């Protein structure tokens, strides 16, 4: 299985998803996050940061700086494509080089730069279903992360 849907009823559920996701991801992985404003993209990144030993309070949306780097038990690159005009602008920033780093590379608004994503990545689409509830549609694209959704499902069920 390369797709899994997780329903979070609260922020604590989102944090749990992030914590367990961190345990099943390899050292080098790219996560493409898609969802509306306020869907919980940055909250999920904060949870992944916490799992990597990074203070989640230091993790903010990089909308204006485009890329934040955090160092903990593993390195985390947090990118935001919201303000980019097109995929060429993303490529001009040299961000594609991060895909080869031994780190988690997490891109908010990744649907805006989809052609610039690596061959293998984890796509997480977040749907707002209530004030604090969300549906996380988690799908592996390519071969490298194909087992992540099923491993995550095993952890959460």
SS3 of 7-70: EECCHHHHHHHHHHHHHHCCCCEEEEEECCCCCCHHHHHHHHHHHCCCCHHHCCCCCCCCEEEE
Model confidence pLDDT, tens digit, residues 110-123: 999 899 999 999 99
At residue 95 the predicted structure's pLDDT band, cuts being 50, 70 and 90, is confident
Q: Is the entire prediction scored with pTM above 0.75? A: yes
CATH of the domain at 22: 3.40.50.300
Q: What is the dihedral sign for C-alpha 127, 129, 132, 133? A: negative
Model confidence pLDDT, tens digit, residues 67-81: 888 999 999 999 998
pLDDT for the residue 64: 67
Domain residues for the domain of 87 are 3-156
Domains: count for the chain: 1
């Amino acid at each position: 299985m390369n797709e899994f849907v997780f329903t979070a009823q609260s922020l604590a559920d989102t944090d749990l998803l992030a914590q367990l996701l961190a345990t099943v991801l390899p050292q080098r992985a790219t996560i493409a996050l898609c969802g509306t404003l306020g869907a919980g993209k940055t909250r999920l990144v904060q949870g992944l940061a916490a799992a990597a030993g990074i203070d989640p309070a230091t993790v903010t949306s990089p909308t204006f700086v485009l890329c934040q780097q955090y160092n903990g038990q593993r390195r985390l690159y947090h990118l935001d494509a919201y303000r980019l005009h097109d995929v060429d602008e993303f490529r001009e920033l040299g961000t594609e080089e991060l895909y080869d780093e031994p780190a988690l590379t997490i891109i908010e608004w990744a649907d805006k730069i989809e052609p610039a994503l690596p061959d293998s990545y984890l796509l997480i689409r977040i749907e707002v279903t209530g004030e604090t509830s969300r549906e996380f549609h988690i799908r592996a694209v390519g071969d490298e992360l194909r087992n992540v959704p099923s491993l995550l499902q095993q952890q959460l069920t």
